Amino acid sequence: MSARIVLATHNPHKVEEFGSIVAAVRPDLEVVGYDGPEPVEDGVTFAANALIKARAAAAHTGLAALADDSGICVDVLGGAPGVFSAYWAGHRKDATANLELLLDQLADIADPHRTAHFTSTIALVVPRGPEHVVEGIWPGRLATAPSGAGGFGYDPIFIPDGQAPGAERTAGEFTAAEKNAASHRARAFIALAPLLSGL
C-alpha cells in the first residue's frame, strides 16, 4: 500500500505534474489533491505563501503536505508579477487575461530586455514535525506572442535558456516529460527529494 502526501492545491494540472515528479524518486508515495478550504495567501514572498498553504493542508488532512508557490518574475518589471502572478489581471485567477496583460505591458520592450525566470518555492510540512522550504529557478525570456498548447499559465510565452539558437521553443511547446525534467519545480524538487525519502 502506497503512502500518501497531500499537495495543497485545487489545481489538477499541478497535482498531475507533482505526481510525475514525485514518482521518479518515491514511486510508493502517492500525491493527492487538497479538498479543504483555501487559506488566505497574504504572504509577500513565495516562501511565506507556500508555508501558509502547506500548514493548512497538513492541519486539515493530518498528512504530510507539500505546497508550491510559484510565478514568473520579469527583470524589466523589477521581478513582477512575482507572488502576484496568478492574480496579475485581477482576482478572478484568469490565466489568459494574466498572460495577455503581461504581453501588453511588455509590447515595446526589445528582446534583449525581455529576460525573466520562473520561481518555484516548495514547502514541506509534516504534522507535529519539521517544516522545510526549497527553491528552484528556471531562467529564460519572454516571447512576443503565445506559442504551444502544453503546460499552463505563462508557459506559452516563456522561452527557457539553454536551447539551440533557431530551434528555441516556449515551455508551452515542451512535452510534459521535457518540462518535468527542466522546470523550476523540477529544480526545486532536487533539493526536496532527500527530504521526501526520509518520510
- Rounded Cα gap, residues 152 and 139, in angstroms: 17
Q: Whole-model pTM?
A: 0.88
Containing 14, the helix (H) or strand (E) segment is: helix 12-23
Which of these CATH numbers, 1.10.3720.10, 3.30.565.10, 3.30.9.90, 3.90.950.10, describes 3-197?
3.90.950.10
pLDDT of 126-154, one tens digit each? 998 899 999 999 999 999 999 998 888 99
From residue 171, alpha-carbon distances to 49, 53, 144, 174 in Å are: 24, 26, 14, 5
Catalytic residues: 69
Q: Is the confidence at residue 31, as pLDDT, over 80?
A: yes
